[in-house]
Structure 1
Amino acid sequence: MNTKTVYAACLFAALNICTLSARAEAAVTAQTYHYGTHLDIKRVVSMSQDPSPACGVVNARMTYLDSHDKPQVLDYLKFGDGCIGDN
């Protein structure tokens, strides 16, 4: 086998792994956080928020694995990072 074939096989394998994880996340229905919601978080996979640098309440999303290693998605509100002087 030449090196180009090996590189192509490695690239194909890496892309498949990324695609599978993206499909798994897309298949999970997002839960909306309410005060008192029980969260079973074993490991946080990713966190994101609205892209605009707003000062005030913004939408945010956390993807995590629960204690059974099942992916979960949580939508919640948080205070934005775009405030001058952190107020």
Structure 2
Amino acid sequence: MKALLLGIFGLLATGSALAASDNSALIHDKPGFFVPLDVDRVVSQTDLNAQCGIVPARLDYLDHAGREHELDYLAFGNGCYNQN
């Protein structure tokens, strides 16, 4: 009985260790009205200085666990001159 419990515990510990090591997968966040972000470091973002109007933008970042995320959203470009 003890050997069976020890075997089951060992199997569960091995499975959780293998599952925890797979943090290289890219996580694609879905935009919405309120998206809670866990941003530790920004990897890259879309340059909006040369674009005018509402344009698609992208933010690539790492969370505090070191996993890579990407977020696609709409933003207003900063390159609109002589417009209110």
Runs of 5+ consecutive residues of structure 2 not aligned to the other structure = 1-23
**Would the aligned equivalents of 2:26 and 2:67 in 1 still touch at CA under 8 Å?**
no
SS where residue 78 of structure 2 aligns?
coil
**What is the CA distance between 1:81 and its match in structure 2?**
2.2
Q: Which of 30, 35, 38 is residue 37 of structure 1 equivalent to?
A: 35
* Bigger Rg, structure 1 or 2: 2
Identity %: 40
Runs of 5+ consecutive residues of structure 1 not aligned to the other structure = 1-23
TM-score normalised to structure 1 length: 0.57
Higher helix proportion (structure 1 or 2): 1
- The residue that corresponds to 1:17 in the other structure is none
1:67 to 2:64 alignment = yes
1:84 to 2:81 alignment = yes
Inter-partner Cα distance in structure 1 for 2:29 and 2:47 = 15
**Would the aligned equivalents of 1:41 and 1:66 in 2 still touch at CA under 8 Å?**
yes
Matched residue count:
60
- The residue that corresponds to 2:19 in the other structure is none
Inter-partner Cα distance in structure 2 for 1:49 and 1:33 = 19
**Would the aligned equivalents of 1:58 and 1:77 in 2 still touch at CA under 8 Å?**
yes
The one-letter code sitting in structure 2 at the alignment partner of 1:38 is P
- The residue that corresponds to 2:52 in the other structure is 55
TM-score normalised to structure 2 length: 0.58
